Structure 1
Amino acid sequence: MSRVQFTAGSPVGALTDPVMIDSKETVDRDDAIAVHPTSDGWRLTVYVADVASGVALGSDADRKALRRRESAYGGWRGRAKMLPRPVEDRLTLAPGRACPALAVQMKVGRDGSVNHVEVERATVRGALAMDHAEVAAAVRNSDHPLHAGLRQAAAVSEVLLARRREHGALALYDLLSGWATDEDGTVVRLASFERNIAYVIVQECMIAANTALAGWAAERDLPVLFRNHSASKVAPPRDVLLHDLDLAFTARSDARLAALQQRTLMTLRAAEYAPFMGGHWGLNLPGYLHGTSPLRRYADLVVQRIILSHLDKTASPYSADELHAVAQALNDGARQDREAESESRKSVTHSRTRRAAADDSADYSRLDSAAFHAILKRGCKEQIAGPSLVDEAARRAADQNLTSLEQQLVLLVAGGAGWQPARVACLQAIAASPETAVSVLSVHAQVNGCELPEFTVEARGQGHDAVFRAQASWTSGDDQVTGAERSASTKKGARHQAALSLLARLADLPDPSRDLASWDRTGAAPASKALPPAEDRSPVSVLNELEQTRVITGLTYGMSSDGPGHQMVFSCTARADMGGQSLSATASATKKATAKANAADGLLTQIRAARTESHA
């Protein structure tokens, strides 16, 4: 049987010795990577510790591992390893000794394509153990002896990520702010030590190896435990979610990213194991599995046993019924863990957040988005209208700093006279940016397990003379609520105003929606496009209306910041085109919303002056 190991004479820039990337105190190292540049890309090898040969099926260690399912490294489960420490010490990959392993070799093209997959038994010799900080430092430092090799590993991870993104995977990393997506597409917070290129190298190489193993098993009609993933019925289309992820990661707003984290948790179902290939929605792959962590996850140990038995030309250690039973046990256990974790968090935080919501003298203005969300959620659900909480909710709403979920809580969950100021402020903020009404209604459908609101749209006229009329309705059981018909010169504008009207009726508040274009019996468009009255409306709302009625085009806002975190000054530039003339206005303030509103007001002043001059 062939055994894979690197030999002398490797090309310049090759990562000749396999590198294990993990924290310094790690004792269960079950994977290592090696990279060799080739004329048209790289040869990537992921080594996986041979655990199957050291943990007999049905042994005491195996039975306990199945019950534990995976190792825990803190959090609500505490610290509990899947395998006993003596077994870990014996089977882990380690420097200074020859370690039996399974080698997954892949040819990675410069475009990130992966082919020519080979899976073999291997012996790992001369492995190097490095933590994330050491790897990141070596990639940056050209004098480091491993710089060239680790830079090649970083290059491989970059093209693998780009390829996954190109093919629709929900894959993003923001190492500066510490946010990323996991393999299921859920937005997660990275530990501080993970916020560097080493994390990306590990993630991309392991995803590539697990994908390669799934395809390798499928080609051989080899039943293993596949990792299948799907989205819920109310999940947005993939391109919409990808667009929202791009925007949130580009903005680097903790509030926006936290909201997107909640949204992905609500709309993307938990992946499950099955003895058949059911596809993976988050990765946008026909097949995926877990096979690179057999010391830490029982599913990986099962996969490794089946693969090694195939390589050894022996029968699979699992019958079809046994494999199905293992998958069911792992899925049931994971589901119970999620429920237990949720209950644990609720019991710990419930009393604390309830007290905070009722505190009349509390200062919530310094709370970060996550802490404020927890208190707001408790106050809305239990109708605790503490004056300080209501005032802060109203302030954050006016500053456009509430997420769609928080707006849904204030408008459609909170009740009573005490919450009225915050509810009114929230609807006014949505009226200033009516596109958010659709998001709030979508969240309301998701949390209540209902269908999304239905829109009917009619059109009259063609081209620039077209007028659209939309109406939105909400159905829950036998009850239906319908908003007012609203018209605009764009389909999107009409839908946004219709959604705003429906939201106002669901919240039992005065309807702030309006017609942005006339809808008459002849189907003609408005004779002129006068500027809408400002009244007491925000300049941002007025500009949105001007764009929807085509008085202006290309409305954009650019935001920048300067100064330390506690004295940050935000500068916003509002730009638009009108009649072939480019207009812009800039304003600065200590709050983003204020800077944006002032910039919009300056641009609105220029627009009015330009129209006055053109009519003079």
Structure 2
Amino acid sequence: MIDSQGTVDRDDAISVQPSSDGWQLTVYVADVASGVAPGGNVDREAFRRRESAYGGWRGTAKMLPRPVEERRTLAEGRACAAMAVRMKVGPDGSLGDVEVERATVHGAVAMDHSQVESAVHDADHPLHQELREAAAVSEVLLACRRAHGALALYDLLSGWATDEDGTVVRLASFERNVAYKIVQECMIAANTALAGWAAERDLPVLFRNHSAARVTPPRETFLEDLDLAFSAGTETRLQALQQRTLMTLRAAEYAPFMGGHWGLNLPGYLHGTSPLRRYADLVVQRIIFSHLDGTDTPYTQDELQGVAQALTEGARRDRQTEHESRKSSAHSRARSAAASSSADYSALDSSAFHAVLKRGCKEQVAGASLVEETARRAVGHQLTSLEQQLVLVVAGGPAWEPARTACMSAITAAPEAAVSVLSVHAQVNGLPLPEFTLDAGGQSHCPVFTSRASWASAEGRITGAERSAATKKAARHQAALSLLAVLAGLPDPSQNSATPAPVRAAPTAKAPAPAEGRSPVSALNELEQTRVISGLTYTYSSQGPGHQMVFACTAHATCDGHELSAGASASTKAAAKGEAAAALLTEISGARAKSVV
């Protein structure tokens, strides 16, 4: 009997005997059905509780009263009534020759996880050989499940594993050894065997059905992702995979029919090995015993359907309550952290810092340390668009001003970010995206684009200043920056970046030399932006051995209707591109001079 230290409600015990062609695995399950009559007070209370709780938001609450638990649990030093599930495990992990019967357990030995771990590695331990066989059985069962597409992995060193539904879970510290794998694999094998045994006899039991959401990737892709994440072993990657499994794998449900189990990739599965702790297992045991005893089933089809629905709905409510409890606790922790004036947030990763920042902005909690770290991350361009939106539009009060100012300065330096922040603001508030006007003016060789951003709100239309620039994108970015400043209630840092069209002087044959410090490549880009040239492209080739490679680059462009090109060679691609660009600048100057003549 393998359980955590101090356990008093022992549902199951295992026995493993090697054979010439595999193992004989027997899982003994405590006979609880004989001691809890259907419809009695104890049964009704157990149905209401659905399962035992061992900490967390529910606290500690056993499904059955302690006196009943003491009478029905498997225990050392006495004969215990049980249900025996016997099965043949082949060398490849396949299950066969399943038998289910009433039994009496004699000489059961209770062990915790650490004791099992020690016994597996201690050749002098009296149970060393049997536990080594149990460990071997768990390995072949796991390998077989994996080979048949089950979402099953363990990383006992880091403490991550998948549960029976394929969801990535974090193991308790005491479970991070071979004992956990032995229990998990033997119980899954017993429940799988019971489901097949019941289906063959057409017994209407409570099956455990599981499905995946439509957005779930193909099973092969999911298995590859599991392998990669567990192989990498990084906390961040495993946590991300955990969230993904929670989002894509639906919660398993109870039903009086076999609907299949997606996570285990089985045609049928049920819960029958924990009748002291789960009401569904108690129902299954009652139905199996009635079949073994030749008596009428204790449930009609409608009653069984009602039990299944009640258990499934109760589990759903429990998950929702647990989620709200964790969310509330997380908010409370983040709120306290946000209010600190001396905490050091610089070491927080992006996820942890986001939680604190979000709570501080939404509840107007502005501890000096949080504001300072937010400003530092804003200057370093380490804030996401959502975090910038929180700081600029959600946070308020004088204490937040240093962070808000730093955030706006960072966006001013990279005005394209203003469009992203406005989009995020629309998404999180269910609003339409901002509207942009765009007008073109200027001359063909020196265009000017003018844009204005506005937002339709319940209070009326919010409008930023009209801004002009030499390109459409630049004008749009400055207009978005102006509108963002209006929403944030901060001074408008946006600018008109377009210059008036110069009076055209008679061109000369002199090449348009780049400004000091500017490369010929940048000068060509500017000529294309101002529409002096068009179709600027570069083509490359190379020759010679790897250690003496020579790169050739040819720059192409169209100027006043003439297609021009110039080439150069150098020992690096960058140098060849620069020399080709310089040569093309000379060609452009010559072409423009000829057009004037």
Instruction: State yes or no: 1:305 paired with 2:286.
Output: yes
Q: Report the TM-score when normalising by structure 1.
A: 0.62
Which residue does 1:202 correspond to in 2?
A: 183
Distance 1:94 1:195 in 2: 24
Q: Residue deviations 1:475-497, cap 9 Å, x none?
A: xxxxxxxxxxxxxxxxxxxxxxx
Which residue does 2:252 correspond to in 1?
A: 271
Which residue does 1:401 correspond to in 2?
A: none
Distance 1:315 1:328 in 2: 23
Instruction: State yes or no: 1:328 paired with 2:309.
Output: yes
Measure how far apart 1:146 and its partner are.
1.1
**Equivalent residue runs for 1:467-616 within 5 Å:** 528=540
Q: Residue deviations 1:271-293, cap 9 Å, x none?
A: 11111111111111111110000
The answer to whether the Cα contact below 8 Å between 2:375 and 2:404 also exists between their aligned partners in 1 is no
**Equivalent residue runs for 1:276-291 within 5 Å:** 276-291=257-272
- Matching residue within 57, 66, 82 for 2:38: 57
Shift in CA distance, 229/171, structure 1 to aligned 2, threshold 3 Å = same
Which residue does 1:165 correspond to in 2?
A: 146
- Matching residue within 101, 115, 123 for 2:104: 123
Q: Residue deviations 1:478-522, cap 9 Å, x none?
A: xxxxxxxxxxxxxxxxxxxxxxxxxxxxxx9xxxxxxxxxxxxxx
Distance 1:422 1:216 in 2: 65
Shift in CA distance, 373/58, structure 1 to aligned 2, threshold 3 Å = farther
C-alpha root-mean-square deviation of aligned residues, in Å?
4.0
Distance 1:107 1:92 in 2: 26
Q: Residue deviations 1:216-248, cap 9 Å, x none?
A: 111111111111111122222222222222222
- Matching residue within 36, 48, 55 for 1:74: 55
Which residue does 1:174 correspond to in 2?
A: 155
**Which stretch shifts more, 195-204 or 280-289?**
280-289
The answer to whether the Cα contact below 8 Å between 1:381 and 1:414 also exists between their aligned partners in 2 is no
Distance 1:381 1:137 in 2: 51
The answer to whether the Cα contact below 8 Å between 2:25 and 2:87 also exists between their aligned partners in 1 is yes
Shift in CA distance, 261/393, structure 1 to aligned 2, threshold 3 Å = farther
Distance 1:420 1:43 in 2: 72
Distance 1:407 1:259 in 2: 18
Stretches of structure 1 lacking an aligned partner (at least 5 in a row): 1-19, 399-405, 427-444, 450-507, 509-524, 531-578, 582-607
Shift in CA distance, 388/240, structure 1 to aligned 2, threshold 3 Å = farther
Which residue does 2:212 correspond to in 1?
A: 231
Aligned residues: 430
The answer to whether the Cα contact below 8 Å between 2:392 and 2:407 also exists between their aligned partners in 1 is no
Paired amino acid for 2:108:
A
Distance 1:408 1:66 in 2: 49
Distance 1:129 1:170 in 2: 30
The answer to whether the Cα contact below 8 Å between 1:359 and 1:388 also exists between their aligned partners in 2 is no
Shift in CA distance, 262/310, structure 1 to aligned 2, threshold 3 Å = same
Distance 1:239 1:408 in 2: 34
Distance 1:204 1:369 in 2: 37
Paired amino acid for 2:120:
V
Q: Residue deviations 1:353-391, cap 9 Å, x none?
A: 134246565322444787556435546877989545546
Distance 1:423 1:295 in 2: 60
Measure how far apart 1:110 and its partner are.
1.0
Measure how far apart 1:342 and its partner are.
1.9
Measure how far apart 1:343 and its partner are.
2.1
Which residue does 2:297 correspond to in 1?
A: 316
Measure how far apart 1:100 and its partner are.
0.9
Q: Residue deviations 1:284-328, cap 9 Å, x none?
A: 111111000000000000000001111111111000000011011
Distance 1:213 1:89 in 2: 26
The answer to whether the Cα contact below 8 Å between 1:380 and 1:410 also exists between their aligned partners in 2 is no
Which residue does 2:337 correspond to in 1?
A: 356
Shift in CA distance, 328/358, structure 1 to aligned 2, threshold 3 Å = same
Measure how far apart 1:137 and its partner are.
0.3
Measure how far apart 1:83 and its partner are.
0.4
Which residue does 1:474 correspond to in 2?
A: none
**SS in structure 1 of the partner of residue 35 of structure 2:** coil
**SS in structure 1 of the partner of residue 298 of structure 2:** coil
Measure how far apart 1:90 and its partner are.
0.4
**SS in structure 2 of the partner of residue 53 of structure 1:** helix
- Matching residue within 234, 243, 257 for 1:262: 243
Which residue does 1:211 correspond to in 2?
A: 192
Identity percentage of aligned residues: 71
Measure how far apart 1:396 and its partner are.
11
Which residue does 2:222 correspond to in 1?
A: 241
Stretches of structure 2 lacking an aligned partner (at least 5 in a row): 396-402, 412-426, 431-483, 485-536, 548-569, 576-597
The answer to whether the Cα contact below 8 Å between 2:27 and 2:186 also exists between their aligned partners in 1 is yes
Shift in CA distance, 123/392, structure 1 to aligned 2, threshold 3 Å = farther
**SS in structure 1 of the partner of residue 28 of structure 2:** strand
Q: Residue deviations 1:164-190, cap 9 Å, x none?
A: 111111111111111111111111111
- Matching residue within 150, 153, 168 for 1:187: 168
Which residue does 2:65 correspond to in 1?
A: 84
Distance 2:65 2:385 in 1: 47
Which residue does 2:82 correspond to in 1?
A: 101
Distance 2:280 2:302 in 1: 16
The answer to whether the Cα contact below 8 Å between 1:54 and 1:91 also exists between their aligned partners in 2 is yes
Distance 2:265 2:538 in 1: 46
Distance 2:237 2:352 in 1: 14
Distance 1:423 1:118 in 2: 72
Measure how far apart 1:348 and its partner are.
3.0
**Which stretch shifts more, 217-226 or 385-394?**
385-394
Distance 1:212 1:135 in 2: 25
Q: Residue deviations 1:85-143, cap 9 Å, x none?
A: 11011000111111111111111111111111111111111111000000000011122
Q: Report the TM-score when normalising by structure 2.
A: 0.64
Paired amino acid for 1:253:
T
Shift in CA distance, 359/303, structure 1 to aligned 2, threshold 3 Å = same
Measure how far apart 1:350 and its partner are.
1.9
Measure how far apart 1:77 and its partner are.
0.5
